[in-house]
Structure 1
Amino acid sequence: MILATDILGNIQSNSAAFDALEKDYLALDWFEVDSGRLRRQTTGGRDIGFKNSKGTSLKNGDVLFHDTKFCVVVRVLPCLCLIIRPNTQLEMAKICFDIGNRHIPIAIRSESELMVAFEEPLYHLFEKQGYSIDREIAVLEQTQTLRIHQWTRNTKFKVTLAKNIHESFIDTASN
């Protein structure tokens, strides 16, 4: 069994370091990329155990192990997703509120497009409310996902929304 504890790089951002090696893929579902410990078999039949020592989410292309012959690379599997396209900022807020109340991670694909893992009740809710929605097979990347794991009365921050999504910010020092 291969034992790994760190992410050694990414073949998408540093392909030259891993070009000469055989790629053996570790297929993961979108919800497994935050796991602290994994024990799986790669597509090539190798057993691998991974303990996420830094606690960072795994991404497509992350290299978990390599030697002189091969490397083990993460492949996030595509899944059925809901693609929601709000027309206004108010619709965006309402949609995010409905999704957030269900504790579902929201992936933002663009300024006017949200993506979540497909859930039948959520699909029917948005369909009933008249939002523009589609079903699509896609990879849910955690790097684009908004999640709040913990909220307390002591948590203090202020979210400022601007006309452009890129100008919005979260002030963590706010009272």
Structure 2
Amino acid sequence: MQLNKVIGNIETFNVGKSTIEWVELDWEELNKRILRKRTDCSREIAIVLEEQGLKYGDILYHDEATTIVVQTKLEPAFVIKPKNMNEMGKVAFELGNRHTPCIVENNEIIVRYDKTLEGIFNETGVEYVETETRFNQAFKYKGHHHHHHDEHETTSSAHAHK
């Protein structure tokens, strides 16, 4: 079965008595236009979209019997809990310097799990917890691309200070 568009979202769409089949995607897959997946009922589907950008609850198919809905995978994550603006600024700077996609909500920063980030958290003294979460939508990369011309030197000097 080939699915070519998002026809609504489970939050606002009336599915009636239709059975919901979930197709589970990780956050990287949410940004892909072409995917081959299976629903939780083992139905094989091909998702072929004109535009990228799926999110939790998007409905890809609906009839009287079946509704196919996007579910996001439970993924390892860090929830960072800065106590004040100073901690927020320090950790946000370090995450931005590494181009780490994040979500900021409820005075917390949520990032995908990456063991190497713990060094940043410990250096900045910010409180954090390791957990699992479902990212409702893909991370959006904003701004421009830039290149670090002296990246090797920066990396080497950073290691020398440890």
- Could you say which TM-score interval applies, normalised by the shorter chain? 0.7 to 0.9
Where do residues 56-75 of structure 1 align in structure 2 (5 Å cutoff)?
57-75=53-71
- Relative distance call for 1:96 and 1:129 in structure 2 (3 A) is closer
- The answer to whether the 8 A contact 2:36-2:46 is kept is yes
Separation of aligned partners in 1, 2:90 and 2:49 = 35
* Structure 1 residue 113: Cα displacement: 0.4
- Relative distance call for 1:80 and 1:24 in structure 2 (3 A) is same
State, as a whole percentage, how many aligned pairs show the same letter.
26
The equivalent of 1:94 in structure 2 is 90
How many positions carry a matched residue from both structures?
146
- Relative distance call for 1:150 and 1:48 in structure 2 (3 A) is farther
The equivalent of 1:150 in structure 2 is 144
The equivalent of 1:107 in structure 2 is 103
The equivalent of 1:169 in structure 2 is none
Separation of aligned partners in 2, 1:43 and 1:132 = 37
Question: Which range moves more in the overlay, 119-128 or 88-97?
Answer: 88-97
Separation of aligned partners in 2, 1:95 and 1:125 = 7
The equivalent of 1:159 in structure 2 is none
The equivalent of 2:72 in structure 1 is 76
What letter is aligned with 2:47? Answer: F
By relative contact order (CA 8 Å, sep 6+), the higher-ranking structure is: 2
Aligned residues: CA RMSD: 1.9
Where do residues 1-175 of structure 1 align in structure 2 (5 Å cutoff)?
2-14=1-13, 17-55=14-52, 57-110=53-106, 112-142=107-137, 145=139, 147-148=141-142, 150-151=144-145
**Could you state the TM-score of these two structures normalised by the residue count of structure 1?**
0.75
* Structure 1 residue 87: Cα displacement: 2.2
What letter is aligned with 1:94? Answer: K
* Structure 1 residue 94: Cα displacement: 2.3
